[in-house]
Structures are given as structure tokens and as C-alpha cells.
Chains A and B, each alone.
Chain A
Amino acid sequence: MYKYNNFDEDFVKERVSQFREQVSRRIDGSLTEDEFKPLRLMNGLYLQLHAYMLRVAVPYGTLNSAQMDKLAHLADTYDKGYGHFTTRQNIQYNWPKLSDVPDMLSELADVGMHAIQTSGNTIRNVTADHFAGAAADEIADPRPVAELMRQWSTDHPEFQFMPRKFKIAITGSPNDRAVTKAHDIGLRMVLLNGISGYEVIVGGGLGRTPMIGKVITDFLPQADLLPYVEAIISVWNRLGRRDNKYKSRIKITVHEHGIDKFRRLVDARFIEIRPFFSGIDQEILAKIEKQFAAPEFKIADTKGYEAVRLINPAFRSWTDTNLKQHRADGYVIVSISIKKHGATPGDATSDQMRVMADLARTYGHDELRISHEQNVILPHVHKSDLSKLYTVLRTAGLATANIGLASDIIACPGMDYCALATARSIPVAQEIAVRFDELKIEHDIGALKIKISGCINACGHHHVGHIGILGLDRAGVENYQITLGGDHTETAAIGERAGPGFSADEIVPAIERLVLGYMDLRSSPDETFLNAYHRLGVAPFKAILYPQEKANAA
């Protein structure tokens, strides 16, 4: 894992002390709110419905145990004993006091963390595959490049006042777990004649105008990555619409100018700026790569693991859903579900954070990841340690066996917290999860992605959910629209709107009807919801959702 050098440390501490001064000038009245707002946003501090909210970056979703312990400490000391993990691999604190925030940032700096550029029209936290460095299907660990981009983009003078925010995601695997096609720039590592480079995708995004990103180049050598990304952002920074907030993202620029023209402009800019990259970035990258060297994997007997699996059905169920294949023999990737039925998706208590930190220290080579699906990952666990680990997770309420199932729901904070929201999303997620748990059918349902956003900005990724739910305000009442057939993977697709929205009372029964209806429609228990949708089209699913209309038409 990357460890701050003296430069990083000095820089982040300097930023904290600047912000401390800014906060005290706001409190003593020398700064108005209009003057202060852009300063606080630069440091990740929002004003929400009930309180301030501090958004802390978890760079490319990677944490060590000391950092996780620090997040727990902040939750206890400055908040209400919990934190909320987000779809951009960040953590949000919902109740900090303005006067405490400089201390929070100072404590974060002590463990190599910050909240810089977690808001504002800047390059945001670079997100990565949450199985990076561990997945069996990976070409290489994408995190060194993500760290290089973090360093390059932080306080980059050209990119502090862009038309709008800018989000980059990176994956080293052909199986895209980082939603690269729904980012301003998506980077997918590819091999060409044994040399690794990147497929660069540009102009993807969700929100008001969802778009799947377009390939701007299918192979970019590693050494050209930084200048090429800089060229893309530079072209958009000049062309992007500053006159209309809703047309300012790069997806609109690419759409309005066309990918071919946009590519020509980027290529021209790239030729201009490439000579200024003397190779220092590659030297820095080489140093960063050393810090991301894989841990020393142990060799141990896994017979005990198999034996416990045979005798303990709850453990077996958990291993069936929450483990993924690791690249090292005897190891697995453990997903810890932060989606206990009825709990708030992505919320972990400080006690749970400490338990996870401790497990990472004891069994996980000191590494943790936050997934964009709002779960926590222990990327390197040996099978021989799994039953002990499971016992600890169970005691902490962290052993829910539902990864990738109906109750593993992405939900944004919605109108329970967010000032932009038009409806609540958390209670809908809670009720759906509880309902499927009561029915005891989610393992039978199989792979299903339900994603809920509380407004059109789509932080809950509803457009790419197999079932997407969008909460809106319809004439002063919460109303929920359903989209169907979205896909967040390498075969990314935007879901299709099913029809009129449902009231808060109707939405959970509608989802239940839809899922039960799918189980009747599927050709076999192996046919997933998404596959059934692709085979049958939207019509039978609409008929299930709107039985009355079908009856009226008859």
C-alpha cells in the first residue's frame, strides 16, 4: 500500500492548517457563507438537511487497518458512532460540527488520508476495482496508476475550476467491477502482444442524461497514460459548457461534438503536451508500484475449511455468496456485507469498523477495500482462517450471506440526509431487504442488482441496476420510478423505464411482484433476472408491474 512521503504529508498538513484558518474566519464573521462555501467544498464539507456532512476520500477504495481504526475513532469522537460508505468508495460522516472539522482532517492526515477534492468542479477520488491486487482474473493491479493519478490531480492548477466535477475509474481486469463505462473517463487495462496498456473510455455518466462511455482509444501504452488523460480533460475544460450546469459534463461535450471530432482534438492536444512529460511520472510510478507489491502469501492446509463447510450450513451459505476467487493458491477474497437485512446500506458502526480493522490485521495482510457497492472487502484471506474470521463477523453482525443477491442493494443517502434529494431511498432499501428475507427466497432468486437513487443525479447508480429505482417528488409526494435491464459491468447498459411511478406504499410490493414474476418467467433457476430480461424483452415485466393496465386493455 502507498505510504505518504514527506511531500504528501507536508502538503496535506498545510491544507489542514489553511482550512483551520478558513473555518475560524467563517466563525468570527470575516468570511460570509458565499465566500466560505467553495472553500469548505474543496475540503469535502457539505451542508445537508440536518447537519454538515464530511466526505472523506478512500483513495481507489484501499485502506489499511490503522486507517479503518481512525475512521472508527472519528465516528465516535466527532459523529454519532457510525459512517456511511458511498458508491464512490468514500466515507461520509453525517453529523460533524463545523468547528470540529479541522481536527477531523488533522487526524485523517496522521494516517495518510484527506477529504481534498471530494467535492467541487475538480477531479474526484479515482475509483478502482475493489478486488484490485487480489482478483484471479486481473492483468495487473491498477492501484499504482490510480495513486499516480491521485498525486497528479490533487491541486492540479489547470483543473481546479472546470465546467463540472470529473470522475475517473480504473480496472485491471476484463471483468469490469469498477463501472468504467459510466465514468467521465474509464480505464481498462488490456494486453497487446504481451504489453499492457489501456483501453480509454470517455463520456460515460449517469445522472440526468445517462450515457455509456465511448472508446476513444483501444490501446494506449502505459507511459502515455498521464499525458493522454490530461489531454482529454484539457480539451473538455476548454470546450465544456459552462453556461448550463446540466450540459457541462464531458458526456455532453462528447455527445455534442461527436467522438471522432473529440478524439482528433485530444490527439492534437496530446501531441502538444506529450513532450512536457519527461518520464518523471514513470519514475514516480515505478516507486509507487514497489509499495503495492503483493503480500507474502502463506501456504497452509485447507482441509479444516472444507470440514467446517460440511458441518456448518450457515458458514457454507456465507462462503457460497461472499467469497471470490483469489489469484494465490489457498486464498480467497472476502466480501463483508454492509447490508444486513433492515440496516442502512453502507452504514458501519465504529465497533464494526474496529472489528474489520482487527480482522484485516489478524487474517488479511492488513488490507481492506471499500466497494462501490457499499461493502467492505478483505482482499487476501487464507481459507484456513475463514471459519475463525466468520465467527468474529457473526458476533459483530457482519456475516450476512447476501453478496450479489436481492438484498445487497445500493442506496444513496436520499432525502434522509441529502439536500439535493427529491425522495428517500434508505427506507425503500431497508423494506425490500427485510421483505426478501421474510420470504426466504433470495438465494433462490440468484444474482440480482437492485440500485436506488433518491434523485435524478443517480448516486445510487439506478440506471445500471438490473432493477433501478428512482425516487422523485411528484406534486409534493414521494414517487418511485422503476427501470429495468440496466447493467454495470463490461456489457454496460442503461435500464429502460418500466412505466408510471409507484407511491412509497406501492414500491416494495411492486418490486416483490416483479421478482416473483421473474421466477415464474425464467427458463431455469440458472437464468438470472438480467438474462431473462434479455431473452423476453420488457413487455412481460411491464405486465407484472402494471396488472391493472393489462386487465383494462383486455
Chain B
Amino acid sequence: MARSFTPKVVTANRLIQGDTVWLTANGYWSSDICEAEFITDAGTAELRMIDTETQAHLVAGAYLADAVMGEKGPKPIHFREDFRTRGPSNYAHGKQAEKVEKNV
């Protein structure tokens, strides 16, 4: 029997800016995790990771991160991924301070 699959999102850092982005269902990278594609099966997860190899000109370091579906869209489970949606706690820098751009 296949192992149960925890839902995922694909996340990475933008190649030039280095900021965090998430892969949307239409294949764009969004600065907002709520717009990420919520992946619920291992097969899709694998396919999306293969797809990211064609995105090397846009992003670096893509990986799958555990997520749950919230009211506005996918949300991170682990605190590390939660920090990545906001920025550091010592300054109002990063996502928490910047206008979220929808697509790249």
C-alpha cells in the first residue's frame, strides 16, 4: 500500500531577487503562498518537481513543502515555512513589508 501523502506546495527563491515564491496551478511563480497549487497526490508532486527543472532561469532551490488548505488558500505547516511567508522577526523586512507581487 502506498504511504499516505501529506499535501504539498512547490516553493523556491526567485533567481535574481532571492525572495520566496510558490508555484501556482497555471505554472507561474507567486509571492503569495495562498495562490500556490495545493498538491494532494505524490504523482503530481513528482511531475511539478520535474517541471521546475525547466524554470532554472526564474528560480533556484525548488522543493516541496508540507501545507494545509486554509480559508484563503494553502498555508504552511512548519514554522520554517511560515517564516518564509513573512520575513525575519527582528526587522519589518521581506514579505511582511513589501507589496506582494502576484506573478513573475
Chain A nearest CB: distance from B15 CB in Å? 6
Do B57 and A417 touch (CB < 8 A)?
no
Nearest-Cβ distance from residue B17 to partner chain A, whole angstroms? 6
Smallest distance from the beta carbon of B64 to chain A beta carbons, Å?
Answer: 16
Q: How far is the CA of A427 from the CA of B88 in the complex (A)?
A: 10
B20 contacts which chain A residues (CB < 8 A)?
Answer: 49-50
Measured CB to CB, the closest approach of chain B to A410, in angstroms, equals 15
CB pair B16–A99 under 8 Å, yes or no, is: yes
Cross-chain contact B90 with A344 (CB below 8 angstroms)? yes
A29 to B57 CA separation, bound complex (whole angstroms):
5
| Residues in B69-104 with C-beta less than 8 Å from chain A | 77-80, 83-84, 87-91, 93-95
Minimum CB–CB distance for B90 against chain A, Å: 5
Q: A33-B61, A98-B16, A478-B79 are in contact. Are A51 and B94 (CB under 8 A)?
A: yes
Contacts of B1-27 to chain A: CB distance below 8 A: 13, 15-20
Cα–Cα distance between A96 and B18 once the two chains are bound (Å): 8
Whether A98 lies near B88 (C-beta < 8 A) is no
Q: Is A351 an interface residue (CB 8 A)?
A: no
Q: By the criterion CB–CB under 8 Å, are A424 and B89 in contact?
A: yes
Question: Most B CB atoms within 10 A — which of A94, A347, A416, A427?
Answer: A416
How far apart are the CA atoms of A52 and B17 in the complex, in Å?
8
* Chain A stretch 511-541: residues in CB contact (< 8 A) with chain B: none
User: Which of B17, B60, B79 meets A97, CB within 8 Å?
Assistant: B17
Of B16, B57, B80, which one neighbours A415 at CB under 8 angstroms?
Answer: B80
Roughly how many angstroms separate A98 CA and B15 CA in the complex, as a whole number? 7
In the complex, whether A328 has a CB less than 8 A from a CB of chain B is no
- Tell me the bound Cα distance from A368 to B38 in angstroms: 52
A273 at interface by CB-CB < 8 Å:
no
- Which of chain A's residues have a CB closer than 8 A to the CB of B17? 51, 97-98
Which of chain A's residues 411-440 have a Cβ closer than 8 Å to chain B? Answer: 415-417, 424, 426-427, 430
B49 contacts chain A at the CB level, 8 A cutoff: no
Let me know if B18 and A51 touch, CB within 8 A: yes
**Known A-B contacts A29-B56, A98-B18; A50 and B90 likewise in contact (beta carbons under 8 Å):** no
How many contacts between A and B, using CB within 8 angstroms?
Answer: 76
A390, chain B: closest CB distance, angstroms: 27
> Residue of B at shortest CB range from A50?
B94
**Complex: how many Å from CA A50 to CA B94?**
7
Residue in A32, A50, A415 whose beta carbon sits within 8 Å of that of B18 in the complex? A50
Is the pair B90, A415 in contact by a Cβ cutoff of 8 Å?
A: no
- In the bound assembly, the distance between CA atoms of A426 and B87 in angstroms comes to 13
Q: Is there contact, CB below 8 Å, between A52 and B18?
A: yes
Contact B83 A49 (CB under 8 A): yes
Q: Is A331 close to B, CB under 8 A? A: no
Bound: A297/B90 CA distance, A: 41
B56 contacts A32, C-beta separation under 8 Å: yes
Distance between A430 CB and nearest chain B CB, rounded to angstroms:
7
Q: Let me know if B79 and A476 touch, CB within 8 A.
A: yes
Among A27, A29, A95, A344, contact of B16 (Cβ-Cβ < 8 Å): A27
Query: A446 CB to closest chain B CB, in angstroms?
Result: 28
Alpha-carbon separation in the docked complex, A99 to B13 (Å): 14
- A285 in the interface, Cβ–Cβ < 8 Å? no
Q: How many Å lie between the Cα of A413 and that of B91 in the bound state?
A: 12
Tell me whether A47 and B79 are in contact in the complex, defined as CB-CB below 8 angstroms, given that A80-B93, A98-B18 are known contacts: no
Once A32-B56, A33-B56 are accepted as A-B contacts, the answer to whether A50 and B77 lie under 8 Å apart by CB is no
A399 to B45, CA, bound (A): 54
**Nearest B-chain residue to A80, judged by Cβ:** B93
- Minimal beta-carbon separation of B66 from chain A (angstroms): 9
Whether B15 contacts A27 by the Cβ 8 Å rule is yes
The contact of A416 among B19, B90, B95, by CB within 8 Å, is: B90
Instruction: For A344, list chain B residues within 8 Å (CB).
Output: 90-91
Contact yes or no, B60 A47, CB < 8 A: yes
Q: Can you report 20 residue pairs joining A to B where beta carbons are below 8 Å apart?
A: A27-B57, A28-B57, A32-B56, A48-B18, A49-B20, A50-B18, A50-B94, A51-B17, A52-B18, A95-B93, A96-B18, A98-B16, A344-B90, A415-B79, A416-B83, A424-B83, A424-B89, A426-B89, A476-B77, A476-B78
**Contacts A49-B20, A97-B17, A416-B89 supplied; 7 other A-B pairs, CB < 8 Å:** A28-B57, A50-B20, A51-B94, A80-B91, A95-B18, A99-B16, A476-B77
Task: Name the 9 nearest CB pairs between A and B, nearest first.
Answer: A416-B88, A51-B18, A52-B18, A29-B57, A50-B94, A33-B60, A344-B90, A426-B90, A98-B16
